Amino acid sequence: MSQVDRVHFLSTLSWIIFMFIIWYFLIFAFIYPAYYSTLRGRAEYEMFLYKLILKNELLIRSFKLNNISLYIKTFKLLKVFNIASFFKSFSTNYGSFKTKYNEKKNFLSKEENLNDMGFVFKVSDDIAYARGLLKAQMTEMVTFKLESGKALLGIVNYLDNEGVAGITVLGDATVITAQTVVVRSYVQPRISAGYGVLGRVISPIGEALDGQGNIETEVTVNIEKNAPSIIARKPVREPLETGVKFIDSMIPIGCGQRELIIGDKKTGKTAIAIDTIINQKGNDIVCIYVAIGQKKSSIARVAKTLREKGCMSYTVIVASGASDSAALQYLAPYSGCAIGEFFRDNNRKVVLIYDDLSKHAVAYRQMSLLLRRPPGREGYPGDVFYIHSRLLERAAKLRDSIDENKNIIEGGSLTALPIIETIQGDVSAYIPTNVISITDGQIFLEASLFNRGIRPAISPGISVSRVGSAAQNKVIKKLAGSLKLELAQYREMEEFARLGLSLDEASIILLEKGRRLVQLLNQPQSNPINMICQIVVMFGGLGGMFSDISLDWIAIFERKLLFLIRSSKIFTVLDVVGRHELPEEFYAFCINLMKVYLSNEESII
For the chain, the domain total comes to 4
399 with 527, same domain?
Answer: no
What confidence score (pLDDT) does residue 127 get?
92
- Beta-strand relationship, 413-421 and 260-263: parallel
Provide DSSP, 53-81: HHHTT--STTS-HHHHHHHHHHHHHH---
- What is the Cα–Cα distance from 224 to 494, expressed in whole angstroms? 50
Residue 227 lies in a domain: no
Same domain for 250 and 159? no
- Based on the fold, state whether residues 463 and 487 are members of the same structural domain: no
pLDDT of amino acid 503: 77
Residue 383's SS3 state is coil
Is 202 contained in some domain?
A: no
Distance CA 569, CA 431 (A): 49
**Which of 65, 83, 107 marks a domain boundary?**
107
Query: Domain end: 76, 107, 138, which one?
Result: 107
Q: Indicate whether 99 and 125 sit together in one domain.
A: no
Task: Output the pLDDT for position 248.
Answer: 92
* Residue 429 shares a structural domain with residue 307: yes
Tell me whether residue 237 is in a domain: no
Do 333 and 415 fall into the same domain?
A: yes
Task: Say what the pLDDT of residue 93 is.
Answer: 54
User: Distance (Å, rounded) from C-alpha 538 to C-alpha 516?
Assistant: 11
| Distance of alpha carbon 288 from alpha carbon 293, whole angstroms | 16
pLDDT at position 496, please?
Answer: 79
Ranges of the chain with pLDDT below 70? 1-2, 4, 7, 24-114, 468, 569-595, 597-605
Residue at 210 is within a domain: no
318 vs 64: CA distance, rounded Å: 41
Quick check: is 287 in a domain? yes
Decide if 200 contacts 210 (C-beta within 8 A): yes
Q: 424, 444, 472: which is the final residue of a domain?
A: 472
Q: Which of 586, 509, 494, 490 is nearest to 548 (CA)?
A: 509
154 and 271: one domain?
no
Q: Are residues 318 and 385 in the same domain?
A: yes
Range of the domain at 253: 242-472
Tell me: do 74 and 148 sit in the same domain: no
Does the residue 8 lie in any domain? yes
374 torsion bin: left (phi>0), alpha (psi -120 to 50), beta (else) = beta
Do 21 and 165 fall into the same domain? no
CA distances from 380 to 147, 171, 320, 327, 367 (A): 36, 23, 21, 15, 10
- 574 vs 513: CA distance, rounded Å: 27
Among 372, 466, 491, 559, the active-site one is: 466
The dihedral sign for the CA sequence 548, 554, 558, 561? negative
- Rounded Cα distance, 409 and 308, in Å: 34
In this structure, the number of other CB atoms found within 10 A of the CB of residue 356 comes to 25
Decide if 365 is catalytic: no
SS3 of 475-486: the string is: HHHHHHHHHHHH
Q: What is the pLDDT of residue 15?
A: 79
- Check if the beta carbon of residue 144 is closer than 8 Å to that of residue 180: yes
466/482 same-domain check: no
* Whether 166 contacts 156, CB under 8 Å: yes
Strand order in the sheet with 349-355: 201-202, 315-321, 285-294, 349-355, 413-421, 260-263, 441-445, 464-465
Residue 363 and residue 377: Cα distance in Å, rounded? 15
For the chain, helix (H) and strand (E) counts, in that order, are 20, 18
DSSP-derived pairing of the beta strands 164-169 and 127-131: antiparallel
**Distance between terminal CA atoms of the chain?**
133
What type of residue sits at position 228?
Answer: P
- Residue pair 175/200 in contact (Cβ under 8 Å)? The answer is no
162 domain-assigned: yes
Report the alpha-carbon angle 368-370-374, nearest 5.
Answer: 50
